[in-house]
Structure 1
Amino acid sequence: MKESSHSAGALSGRQKAAMAAIVIAGALAVAGILFWPAPHGEDDGHGHGGETPAGAPADEHADDGLVKLSEAQAQAAGIRVAEAGPGVLRPTREFPGEIRFNEDRTAHVVPRLAGIVERVSADLGQQVRKGQVLAVIASTSLSDLRSELLAARKRLDLAEETFAREKKLWEERVSAEQDYLQARTAREEAGIAVQNAAQKLQAVGAAGQAPALNQYQLRAPFDGTVVEKHMAMGEAVGDTTAVFTIADLGTVWAEFIVAPQDLSAVRVGEKVSISSSALNETAEGAVSYVGPLLGAQTRTATARVTLANPGMAWRPGLFITVKVLRGEESVAVAVPADAIQTLGDDSVVFTAVPGGFKAQPVKTGRRDGLRVEVLEGLAPGARYAQTNTFTLKAELGKASAEHTH
């Protein structure tokens, strides 16, 4: 009985071992199904790549530049496939620059007569209209000029009356012709004196009427913004001091520095794109000026773009990047710059192959910052990974490292 019992116990142990082997084999089979790449269907143009999950056999092909990815993995990684074909390059040259006032629309307002400031009507940053009063200055010189004009007008009135009387007497043969001619000459001289006095006032910008003879009204020369102010009430100002600076910010200058070797690429009329890291926008324009001389210190030339600024976003002092567009160039094969990766000393494009992507060495040519010309290695019509190719490069590097170990 004891032997039978021992035999039954041993049989039970063998049964347990068999059952454990069956469970392990089943688990391995499931793992193989889960981690084996999905079968590759017909390419629909949406992509073939993504990160290979742990256990995928990418390392088996690291040496030939093949990355095995299923279509689902490629879609998950955001890799888009495109056909190689012709493209248009727009070569650019970048230059650092700065926004400045349009000096053709900037005025340094100077009182044309010395005096004492009685009132200041404009402040920094204020928008002003053409002819708007900025300040009132009391000037003894202006008082003298206006008094001269008033006196000249009085003398002209008297000369007109005398001339009319002498003319009538001469026509009636009562007075001599000489008296008539003298009266006419006096009238003409009085008229000249009035014109002279009026033009003096006009020259100093005080031709209009004023509440007092000595009040000089300083006015804005055009619509703009007060960007500088150097006066206060009660201050004595001279006739050579700029007390206001008015700038029309509706247009500004985008100035940039050009080295001598780059002058051939920057010509008047060339189209440019202007951007700034501080603004989320770009502006288009054309080169309006290229300096004919090099700076004595910098040995560079200054170029300029007159830029429309309706929203006042491009403020003077803002640092910018100016891209000079050098026309358009058609090429047989062009790919996005992001599609090109570097492996060792080679530039590669990841071409779509059954089951994944293969790193294809290429020879590149011209580029414009967005697109790159491919001279060799990628034929027109070939399908390649257009976006997120850094994922494929990383996967290939990881597989190569695993293969080495």
Structure 2
Amino acid sequence: MLVVIILAIGALLGALILTTDVAGSSGDGHGHGHGHEGHAKASDAAAEDHEADEHGHDDEHGHDEEHAGGGDSHQEGEVELNDVQIRAAGITLATAQEAVIRSGITLPGEIAFNADQTARVVPRLAGVVEGVTAGLGEQVKKGQVLAVIASRELAEQRSSLATAQKRLQLARTTYQREKQLWEEGISAKQDYLAAEQALREAELTVANVREQLQALGSDAGTPGALSRYEVRAPFDGMIVEKDITLGEAVSADAPVFTLSDLSSVWADVMVPAKDLGSVRVGSQAVIEATAFESRAEGTVSYIGSLVGQQNRAAVARITLSNPGGIWRPGLFVSVQVLAGEERVPVAVKPDALHTLEERPVVFVRTEQGFVAAPVATGRRDADAVEIIQGVDAGTRYALGNSFIIKSELGKGSAEHSH
């Protein structure tokens, strides 16, 4: 029994010891698992904090970079210019506003002499040139002496006038004597009537010779040599051609000077047959020079009745005032014949338009300077361009010397690319 009791106690103690070991082992494993999980969570949290720190650092670094770059780079297409720089560059501003667009057709033309105010001066008497007092390109007045010619024909005409005047004086004296004698009853009436007829014939002869001299443009009462013939200007104008030299012989019908009054000229254009319906006498026209910046307005004064067989076009003529002499004959011009007018809500001057990346732009004024505003254009004429989209009415934009802004913008793009 004792042996049995001892064995039972030993078995019980062994069971207790085994139970305690299993529980400790289980508790150690659970604690160890929780330890690893906590360490993992701590590691993940640390990683997240580190990532957050890095992200924050990156954001801050990116913000700093963006902030640092803001002083050198700006909005695309913008040029920073203050008021002082704008004035120094000579950039002028204008305001986008409504305008009247003139529609019409544009044709090439050429400035020509006004034939109504141009004359080829001829001597009207053959002779030898004794003097030339006017030069090519000289402005002369009506009646001014241009040249002096020694003419035998003129000498004969003036001799005839002198002879006729002496005969007239004798006939007048004879008439007065015969009249007195007839009134006193001394001579017959027939002698009186014959003297009167001789007087009338002498007067007629003198008048005819004077008219012949006046037809030659010579003043019969001018003292001097009988053969001296003066070529005078028929009106105010400029000597545009000169074909006379001292000492040469000239014929009566040879042009020695061409005189033109250039205060008015013609602009001749060839109008194709398809456009003849748009061009009428009295239509307004705008003429622009192709060689330099100059423009003027005139009216269509003539349209040819015939269409050329080769070019299938008719000649149209615009009378153009030319007080300053800018429009010189032979100058090529562009002529816009106006067909109508239409008002548009927004328009800018043509010089304000520029091309950037194959797009039309207008440099709009901003607080910092100017920005290139892409625009959509519509109708246009020599004075205005319609803006359909991109710029509103009342917007201030660069006009004069606006190409400087484009140049500065190009420099900025080049530096940025570099």
- TM-score, normalised on structure 2? 0.67
Deviation (angstroms), 1:92:
3.3
- 1:6 corresponds in structure 2 to none
Provide the aligned C-alpha RMSD in A. 4.4
Distance 1:266 1:177, change over 3 A: same
- 1:188 corresponds in structure 2 to 200
Task: Measure, in 1, the Cα distance between the counterparts of 2:391 and 2:331.
Answer: 44
Q: Which deviates further from its counterpart, 300-309 or 198-207?
A: 300-309
Deviation (angstroms), 1:384:
9.5
Task: Measure, in 1, the Cα distance between the counterparts of 2:375 and 2:116.
Answer: 54
Distance 1:164 1:325, change over 3 A: same
Alignment of 1:264 onto 2:298: no
Alignment of 1:284 onto 2:297: yes
Alignment of 1:161 onto 2:161: no
| Alignment counterpart, residue 27 of structure 1, candidates 61, 83, 88 | 61
Contact residue 339 and residue 385 of structure 1 kept, 8 A: no
Deviation (angstroms), 1:304:
1.7
Q: Which amino acid aligns with 1:108?
A: R
Task: Measure, in 2, the Cα distance between the counterparts of 1:224 and 1:241.
Answer: 20
Deviation (angstroms), 1:332:
6.5
Task: Measure, in 1, the Cα distance between the counterparts of 2:114 and 2:393.
Answer: 51
Task: Measure, in 1, the Cα distance between the counterparts of 2:396 and 2:139.
Answer: 54
| 1:293 aligned counterpart, secondary structure | coil
Task: Measure, in 2, the Cα distance between the counterparts of 1:241 and 1:143.
Answer: 20
Distance 1:311 1:181, change over 3 A: same
Deviation (angstroms), 1:302:
1.6
- 1:402 corresponds in structure 2 to none
Task: Measure, in 2, the Cα distance between the counterparts of 1:266 and 1:307.
Answer: 16
Q: Which amino acid aligns with 2:257?
A: F
Deviation (angstroms), 1:299:
2.5
Q: Which amino acid aligns with 1:327?
A: G
Q: Which deviates further from its counterpart, 194-203 or 126-135?
A: 126-135
Unaligned stretches of 5+ residues in structure 2: 1-49, 87-93, 363-370, 414-418
| 1:307 aligned counterpart, secondary structure | strand
Contact residue 97 and residue 322 of structure 1 kept, 8 A: yes
Task: Measure, in 2, the Cα distance between the counterparts of 1:156 and 1:24.
Answer: 127
Distance 1:108 1:73, change over 3 A: closer
| 2:340 aligned counterpart, secondary structure | coil
Alignment of 1:97 onto 2:131: no
Task: Measure, in 2, the Cα distance between the counterparts of 1:215 and 1:339.
Answer: 66
Deviation (angstroms), 1:74:
7.5
Task: Measure, in 2, the Cα distance between the counterparts of 1:259 and 1:273.
Answer: 18
Q: What's the CA shift string for 1:239-292, capped at 9, x where partnerless?
A: 111011111112211222211111222222222222213333221222222222
Task: Measure, in 2, the Cα distance between the counterparts of 1:176 and 1:101.
Answer: 68
Deviation (angstroms), 1:99:
1.4
Q: What's the CA shift string for 1:305-345, capped at 9, x where partnerless?
A: 2222222121111111112223321357768787899999x
- 2:138 corresponds in structure 1 to 126
Contact residue 378 and residue 385 of structure 2 kept, 8 A: no
* Seq. identity, %: 45
Alignment of 1:199 onto 2:211: yes
Distance 1:255 1:331, change over 3 A: same
Task: Measure, in 2, the Cα distance between the counterparts of 1:298 and 1:239.
Answer: 39
Deviation (angstroms), 1:381:
7.6
Alignment of 1:319 onto 2:332: yes
Contact residue 336 and residue 386 of structure 1 kept, 8 A: no
Distance 1:127 1:313, change over 3 A: same
Alignment of 1:371 onto 2:405: no
Task: Measure, in 1, the Cα distance between the counterparts of 2:324 and 2:348.
Answer: 36
Task: Measure, in 2, the Cα distance between the counterparts of 1:298 and 1:252.
Answer: 24
| 1:91 aligned counterpart, secondary structure | strand
Distance 1:259 1:186, change over 3 A: same
> Equivalences for 1:104-119 in 2 at 5 Å?
104-119=116-131
Contact residue 86 and residue 332 of structure 1 kept, 8 A: yes
Contact residue 86 and residue 380 of structure 1 kept, 8 A: no
> Equivalences for 1:311-390 in 2 at 5 Å?
311-331=324-344, 366-368=379-381, 370-372=384-386, 374=388
Distance 1:112 1:159, change over 3 A: same
Contact residue 345 and residue 393 of structure 2 kept, 8 A: no
Deviation (angstroms), 1:94:
1.5
| Alignment counterpart, residue 88 of structure 1, candidates 100, 108, 118 | 100
Task: Measure, in 1, the Cα distance between the counterparts of 2:200 and 2:95.
Answer: 90
Q: Which amino acid aligns with 1:317?
A: G
Distance 1:131 1:368, change over 3 A: closer
Q: What's the CA shift string for 1:354-399, capped at 9, x where partnerless?
A: xxx9x9998x86544633475xxx69989999889x99xx99xx9x
| 1:130 aligned counterpart, secondary structure | coil
- 1:250 corresponds in structure 2 to 263
Task: Measure, in 1, the Cα distance between the counterparts of 2:97 and 2:226.
Answer: 80
Task: Measure, in 1, the Cα distance between the counterparts of 2:257 and 2:194.
Answer: 50
Task: Measure, in 1, the Cα distance between the counterparts of 2:247 and 2:95.
Answer: 77
Task: Measure, in 1, the Cα distance between the counterparts of 2:392 and 2:380.
Answer: 20
Q: Which amino acid aligns with 2:128?
A: I
Q: Which amino acid aligns with 1:207?
A: D
Unaligned stretches of 5+ residues in structure 1: 1-16, 39-51, 57-68, 350-356, 399-405
